[in-house]
Amino acid sequence: MSQKEVRVRFAPSPTGPLHIGGVRTALYNYLFAKKHNGSMVLRIEDTDQNRFVQGAEDYVLESLNWCGIEFDEGVHKGGPYGPYKQSERKELYKGYAEKLIESGDAYYAFDTTEELESLRKKLETKKAANTSYSSFCRMEMVNSLTLNDQEVQLKIDSGVPYVIRFKMPENKEVRFTDIIRGDVVVNTSTLDDKVLFKSDGMPTYHLANIVDDYLMKISHVIRGEEWLPSLPLHVLLYKAFGWENKMPQFAHMPLTLKPDGKGKLSKRDGDRLGFPVFPLEWKNPQSGEMSSGFRESGYFPEAFINILAFLGWNPGTEQEIFSMDELIQAFSLERVGKAGSRFDPEKAKWYNHQYLIKKSNEELTQLYQPILKEKDIVCSDEYVSSIVGLIKERANFVTDFWEQSFFFFEAPVEYDAKMIKKGWKENTTEILNAFLSKSEGLEKYTFNNLEIAVKSVLEEKETGMGQLMMPLRLVLVGSGKGPGVIEIMELLGKEEVNNRIRTGISNIKI
Ligand code: GLU
């Protein structure tokens, strides 16, 4: 790697919520910057006013903040190369577009929408090799290559709308190296004369992106594979501006694929298969439609980051759980694969489970208490913490806790019919009554004492473990769910256990 200072940028367009692929781009940039003691810039690319979506910029900031991805410079915190929002830099781009006109690398084009439409139709009918505005047809169009200087000036002065197009060189090989994809060669005959500057006075993505990367001294451009087809144009723009020596290195990351590997992961896949594809919940400001988020689905940000890190990168070892600091240490672009990487919703849950079981019972209690409060349940932290300790192995999310522990907070109101059929025998009432009297006599309601009580009932009644434990679970929980029966009893306490046994005995009939 060259000695120059590492400066990377994340450059989202505020056209909607950030997809997990976008967060992964931000993450890889962040890891790369931190690993090389570099700087991370957040630039908002909002030159396409038609695609602007209200709230999208705030959504980006909130999402990345939730993930723990921090910026050194950017739209929200300023820095030496600001402003960091392209609409606020509007004035500077035109000069750069004009520079390219002067050097002969770009030209004014005055073609109307109708003229462009008829060009497209004509080229399609001819089955032309290149059906866009390019070297094949530019000399038949209304532009500064076909008009003389006076005609051009007249049109500009009289306010005829125009765009500035890049003059793509003819039949030239563009060579470049991508850190992930290696050497790439593209012939310019397959490329078109892209618009650099629009009739609304705004630059297009291509011009603004190159000018800003140059002015912001970006050393590495790490972005999604969908931008690879634009790279030949970008390389040619650097050359045309005479900035070749300042050109950043490029790394185009693989696509994030659907769980079955067939195509790019989309919001629709998430809706269909029941998993989020956005970091945070998003409400479409136009339609009001809600999309679920990883945060609201109960994912911890550390788990989310870990999941994203492995979507395209691997450490080359067996280790799967990485904190952000460990990721910074281990990350390298060389270990990012070329092939698209599948999003596996089950593995995502597994990651969250790993982080959940590592958290202390106290921390999980603080996360569970608000859920209980919503159900009007008020219990001490101590009680909730003991419950959490018993059930966390069975949960992927804090939101699973209720399902695993509701019986600690409320007595069963009904009993599972299948369980009754399976476990409730002629002599069950007698066995439960025997246990009840032992339970009533216990001074200290501890695990050990309960275990002794269970054993002595089994001995007295000359019966097997299942004959007592299955009915006990049924009267305590209402179903076959939950952790060990003795643990449940210890936590519920003598009075509650005895009440539930009595209620069970009088309500369950075979
Ligand atoms: N604004 C582009 C986007 O929305 C940035 C692409 C790039 O990183 O060059 O993805």
Is the CB of 467 within 6 Å of ligand 1?
Answer: no
Nearest to 23 by CA among 293, 396, 213: 293
**pLDDT grade for 139, boundaries at 50, 70 and 90:** very high
Q: Can you tell me the mean pLDDT for 244-266?
A: 94
- C-alpha to C-alpha distance for 101 and 94, rounded to whole angstroms: 11
Domain containing 401 — which CATH number?
Answer: 1.10.8
Structure tokens at 188: 């310019």
Locate the ligand 1 atom nearest the alpha carbon of residue 222 and give its number.
Answer: 8
Give a yes or no: residue 291 inside a domain: yes
Quote the distance between the C-alpha of residue 9 and its chain's center: 18
- C-alpha to C-alpha distance for 144 and 109, rounded to whole angstroms: 6
Q: Which residues of 256-277 are buried (b: 16+ CB within 10 A; e: fewer)?
A: bbbbeeeeebebebbeeeebbb
Question: Do 444 and 481 share a domain, yes or no?
Answer: yes
- C-alpha to C-alpha distance for 198 and 8, rounded to whole angstroms: 27
Say which DSSP state 336 is in.
B
pLDDT at 477 over 50: yes
Question: Do 69 and 214 share a domain, yes or no?
Answer: yes
- The catalytic residue among 90, 267, 425, 438 is 267
**pLDDT grade for 352, boundaries at 50, 70 and 90:** very high
What is the per-residue pLDDT for 72? 98
Largest Cα separation within the chain, whole Å, is 112
What is the per-residue pLDDT for 171? 93
pLDDT at 503 over 50: yes
**pLDDT grade for 265, boundaries at 50, 70 and 90:** very high
Q: Can you tell me the mean pLDDT for 66-76?
A: 97
Give a yes or no: residue 81 inside a domain: no
Domain interval for residue 145: 90-208
Pair 251, 336: CB distance under 8 Å = yes
Question: Do 438 and 339 share a domain, yes or no?
Answer: no
pLDDT at 2 over 70: no
- C-alpha to C-alpha distance for 275 and 288, rounded to whole angstroms: 19
Q: To the nearest whole percent, how much of the chain has pLDDT over 90?
A: 93
Domain containing 422 — which CATH number?
Answer: 1.10.10.350
Q: Can you tell me the mean pLDDT for 103-124?
A: 94
What is the per-residue pLDDT for 280? 98
Domain containing 24 — which CATH number?
Answer: 3.40.50.620
What is the per-residue pLDDT for 74? 97
Q: How many CB atoms lie within 10 A of CB 466?
A: 10
Is the CB of 41 within 6 Å of ligand 1?
Answer: no
- Side by side, the strands of the sheet bearing 106-109 are 106-109, 163-166, 195-197
Coil/strand/helix, residue 248: coil
Give a yes or no: residue 85 inside a domain: no
H/E element, 153: helix 149-157
Locate the ligand 1 atom nearest the alpha carbon of residue 223 and give its number.
Answer: 8
Domain containing 335 — which CATH number?
Answer: 1.10.1160.10
Question: Do 224 and 276 share a domain, yes or no?
Answer: no
CA of 124 to the centre of ligand 1 (A): 30
Question: Do 134 and 161 share a domain, yes or no?
Answer: yes
Question: Do 383 and 458 share a domain, yes or no?
Answer: no
Q: What is the mean pLDDT of the chain?
A: 96
Give a yes or no: residue 176 inside a domain: yes
Contacts 24+ apart (CB under 8 A), 425-429: 425/467, 425/510, 427/461, 427/463, 427/467, 428/467, 428/471, 429/505
Question: Do 278 and 300 share a domain, yes or no?
Answer: yes
What is the per-residue pLDDT for 46? 96
Is the CB of 352 within 6 Å of ligand 1?
Answer: no
Locate the ligand 1 atom nearest the alpha carbon of residue 10 and give its number.
Answer: 8
Range of lowest pLDDT (25-29, 53-57, 93-97, 126-130): 126-130
CA of 259 to the centre of ligand 1 (A): 25
Question: Do 16 and 162 share a domain, yes or no?
Answer: no
Give catalytic status of residue 127 as yes or no: no
When divided into structural domains, the chain yields a total of: 5
Give a yes or no: residue 433 inside a domain: yes
Question: Do 98 and 192 share a domain, yes or no?
Answer: yes
pLDDT digits (tens, 9 = 90+) for 304-316: 999 999 999 999 9
- C-alpha to C-alpha distance for 249 and 221, rounded to whole angstroms: 6
What is the per-residue pLDDT for 325? 98
Question: Do 109 and 187 share a domain, yes or no?
Answer: yes
Is the CB of 230 within 6 Å of ligand 1?
Answer: no
pLDDT at 286 over 80: yes
pLDDT digits (tens, 9 = 90+) for 320-344: 999 999 999 999 999 999 999 999 9
Give a yes or no: residue 387 inside a domain: yes
**pLDDT grade for 3, boundaries at 50, 70 and 90:** low
Locate the ligand 1 atom nearest the alpha carbon of residue 221 and give its number.
Answer: 8
Give a yes or no: residue 65 inside a domain: yes
More confident residue, 449 or 126: 449
| pTM check: above 0.85 | yes
Structure tokens at 498: 């005895």
pLDDT digits (tens, 9 = 90+) for 86-98: 999 999 999 999 9
CA of 13 to the centre of ligand 1 (A): 7
Give a yes or no: residue 49 inside a domain: yes
Q: Can you tell me the mean pLDDT for 109-129?
A: 90
Question: Do 427 and 454 share a domain, yes or no?
Answer: yes
Question: Do 341 and 283 share a domain, yes or no?
Answer: yes
CA of 356 to the centre of ligand 1 (A): 34
Pair 44, 84: CB distance under 8 Å = yes
Quote the distance between the C-alpha of residue 423 and its chain's center: 46
pLDDT digits (tens, 9 = 90+) for 378-428: 999 999 999 999 999 999 999 999 999 999 999 999 999 999 999 999 999
Is the CB of 11 within 6 Å of ligand 1?
Answer: yes
**pLDDT grade for 4, boundaries at 50, 70 and 90:** confident
pLDDT at 1 over 70: no
